[in-house]
Structure 1
Amino acid sequence: MKKANDIFGIKYAICQAPMLGVATPEMVAAVSNTGCIGTLPLGGLPTSLNEQLILKTKSLTNKPFIVNLFLNPVVDINKEEIDNMQDELTNLGKQIGYTHQRIETFEQDGYTQNLELVKRLGLKYLAFTFGCFNDQEIEELHHHNIYLIGTATTVEEAVFLDNKGIDAILLQGIEAGGHRGSFLKDSLEDNLPLEDLFDRVFPLVNKPIFVAGGLYSGQIGKKYLDKGAAMICYGSLYIGSDESAAMDYQKELLNQGKPVETKLTKSFSGKFARGILNEYINYIDNSNNSIPYFPIQNILTQKLRSFAKQKKIHNFNSLWCGTNAHYARKESSFNITNKLIKEVYDL
């Protein structure tokens, strides 16, 4: 089975994970410039902005990098559910001086335009999450020599992607920060710690397996390479980096080196995501109202989150990170990656 070195033409089988809102072109390029590979998150962003981000990354490195898309389906509108949530957000906003403006229409952009952008710009490595391409799309993308990397949170999802002919499977352990890549079930059922997930999936699939979730050192990652993983992916480790777009508050909190309490919650976006437990999460999760599914809840809370970020009211913002995020390193992404290389390859 191929290793990442052969797949991407890179020197080291180490990847920086696609953290929307954290990863920047500068971070992605810095990682790729070490001989590893960075991932640029495009999911949920306008195509025009994504083109700028891709071109910026290309201007900073001539090395390969991966781009990541969201394949979430368009969901039905439940007006009663949405109205109830908007009432909750109105009441909650009063606590911090935020006035919730009720939203009546919900634009749910598909991934088609971003997919066309990937093809037009000649990108060769495409990761995706929250779903899977259909057979026709897979055939067409392969016709364009685009290497496809699908995200799986369960054994069932990994086998599904393998049967679909996806080129590589990224296993996301329950420890991972940010959104779960789940797409067959909207639950945490069958979501396993990374080690258990890898051990169960590895004998069942024929494709290269990449692993992510809770990795915080080269030594931990090396164990997966030794067991047969094709690549090891690090996310939260980069939250505190110089190139990270994370809020300074989160960087400083993680830089203290003490574990932080995280929780998997739908409260901000309508899809399970792991982040630092705070007042907002407790309020919404403990309310009696159902939470509209992604991306509806994400749209409903967008302005509240922006307000909280602007006013530095951190108890009302999403601070995505994994269970081992307190190992985040406060230095350049280039140095963080070089230290990982030394740890993984005993250099």
Structure 2
Amino acid sequence: MRNLKDILGIEHSIGQAPMLGVTTPAMVAAIANEGGLGTLPLGGLPVEMCDKLIKQTKELTNKPFAVNVFLNPLVTQDDSQIDLMQHLLSKVCLSNNIPYTQITEFKQDTYMPLVELAIAHGIKVICFTFGCFTPPEIERLHQEGIYLIGTATTLEEAQYLSDHTIDAITLQGIEAGGHRGSFLHDTTEQNLPLDQLFNQVINSSIDKPLIVTGGLYKGSQARKYIDKGAAFATFGSLFIASDESNAMDYQKNLLSKGTPVKTKLTKSFSGKWARGIDNNFMELIDQSNISIPPYPIQNILTQNIRFFAKQKNIPNFNSLWCGINSHFAAKHNIKHIFNKLTKEFYEY
């Protein structure tokens, strides 16, 4: 089997996890220029914006990089559930001097236009989450010479991806920040710490390159997993406080203090399980006992709230996604952070 580094066209077995809202073209390009795999998140964004982001990244690097897409299924709109949630959101916003406009249109975009865009740009690595491509789509993408990396949070999901001829599998431990990649079950009950999940999969009949992610913050951790049979490791939260990150200054300052922060899994912002810094909005929605519409409906309902909170620097009403070890994030440029990781990796 060819080494995954050779397949991806990179120098190191370390990469950057896609973090929508945090990752920038500058971050992806910096990782790529240092010999790692940078990943540009496209999921949930308009095609025109994705086109611009890919072009910006290409202007900053001539090295390979991946794009990430969401394969979430289209969901049925429950108007009564939406009305109850909008009533709650309007009350919460009114009490906190945040404007709220009733949403009446819930456009659910499909992922194939983003995939076609990636093909047009010559992207050769597509990673995905929240689902799996259909067999005809997989055949088409393989014919285009595209390497496919799926996301699994359980052994069952890893087996599903393997059975569907996905080229490599990212194993996402429960420690990871941001959205869970779960797609077979809308629950976190079967989700395991990365070490346990990896041991389950590596000792199974699955014969695919395995990528580990979730709670990693040192190059030596990546090396340990690779010594045990993993092919690659990705880091996410470690890059949140970087110069190139688009995270709120509040989050960057908080994480760079080096003090552990309280994170929790919630559906409050998007309707899909995600881990982030516990805040007022999470508590108000989670404790309301009101049914949360599924992704992407809830994500659409809270989009303007999150945008306003970020613009006005109100962290208690924005989604501050990060993992359980995010306090190891450093305020520095990506080149410095990544080179420190590779040094730790090779010196272990």
Structure 1 outlier segments of 4+, above 3 Å: none
Pairwise CA distance, 1:300: 0.2
Distance 1:38 1:50 in 2: 15
Residues 150-229 of structure 1 correspond to what in structure 2 (within 5 A)? Answer: 150-204=150-204, 205-229=206-230
CA contact (8 A) 2:266 2:286 kept: yes
**2:89 aligned residue:** 89
Further displaced range: 161-170 or 305-314: 305-314
Distance 1:221 1:317 in 2: 31
Pairwise CA distance, 1:11: 1.4
Does residue 268 of structure 1 match 2:288?
no
Amino acid at match of 2:340: K
Distance 2:28 2:165 in 1: 27
**2:231 aligned residue:** 230
CA contact (8 A) 1:3 1:13 kept: no
Residues 16-31 of structure 1 correspond to what in structure 2 (within 5 A)? Answer: 16-31=16-31
Pairwise CA distance, 1:259: 0.2
**1:320 aligned residue:** 321
* SS of residue paired to 1:37: coil
Amino acid at match of 1:78: D
**2:45 aligned residue:** 45
Pairwise CA distance, 1:111: 0.5
Cα separation, partners in 2 of 1:138 and 1:72, compared to 1, 3 Å: same
**1:278 aligned residue:** 279
Distance 1:10 1:308 in 2: 38
Q: Deviation string for 1:147-166 (max 9, x for gaps)?
A: 00000011100000000000
Does residue 149 of structure 1 match 2:141?
no
Distance 2:160 2:117 in 1: 26
**2:61 aligned residue:** 61
* SS of residue paired to 1:303: helix
Amino acid at match of 2:106: F
Distance 2:263 2:289 in 1: 22
Residues 329-340 of structure 1 correspond to what in structure 2 (within 5 A)? Answer: 329-340=330-341
Residues 121-132 of structure 1 correspond to what in structure 2 (within 5 A)? Answer: 121-132=121-132
Pairwise CA distance, 1:311: 2.0
Pairwise CA distance, 1:191: 0.3
Q: How many residue pairs were aligned?
A: 347
Q: Deviation string for 1:131-176 (max 9, x for gaps)?
A: 0000000000000000000000111000000000000000000000
Unaligned ranges ≥5, structure 2: none
Distance 1:180 1:134 in 2: 20
Q: Deviation string for 1:258-288 (max 9, x for gaps)?
A: 0000000000000000000011101100111
CA contact (8 A) 2:248 2:313 kept: no
CA contact (8 A) 1:2 1:230 kept: no
Q: Deviation string for 1:212-266 (max 9, x for gaps)?
A: 0000011111110110110010000000000000010000000110000000000
Distance 1:167 1:245 in 2: 30
**2:300 aligned residue:** 299
CA contact (8 A) 1:130 1:181 kept: yes
Distance 2:10 2:151 in 1: 21
Distance 2:55 2:279 in 1: 36
* SS of residue paired to 1:307: helix
Distance 1:220 1:164 in 2: 30
- Percentage of matched positions with identical amino acids: 58
Does residue 251 of structure 1 match 2:252?
yes
**2:107 aligned residue:** 107
Distance 1:304 1:48 in 2: 23
Distance 1:2 1:252 in 2: 42
Q: Deviation string for 1:292-343 (max 9, x for gaps)?
A: 0000000000111112222222111110000000000110111111010000
TM-score (norm 1): 0.98
Does residue 77 of structure 1 match 2:66?
no
Unaligned ranges ≥5, structure 1: none
* CA RMSD in angstroms, aligned pairs only: 1.0
**1:345 aligned residue:** 346
Pairwise CA distance, 1:2: 4.1
TM-score (norm 2): 0.98
Amino acid at match of 1:258: T
**2:35 aligned residue:** 35
* SS of residue paired to 1:245: coil
* SS of residue paired to 2:138: helix
Distance 2:266 2:275 in 1: 6
Q: Deviation string for 1:82-128 (max 9, x for gaps)?
A: 00000100110012212321112200001111111011111100000
**2:118 aligned residue:** 118
CA contact (8 A) 2:21 2:246 kept: yes
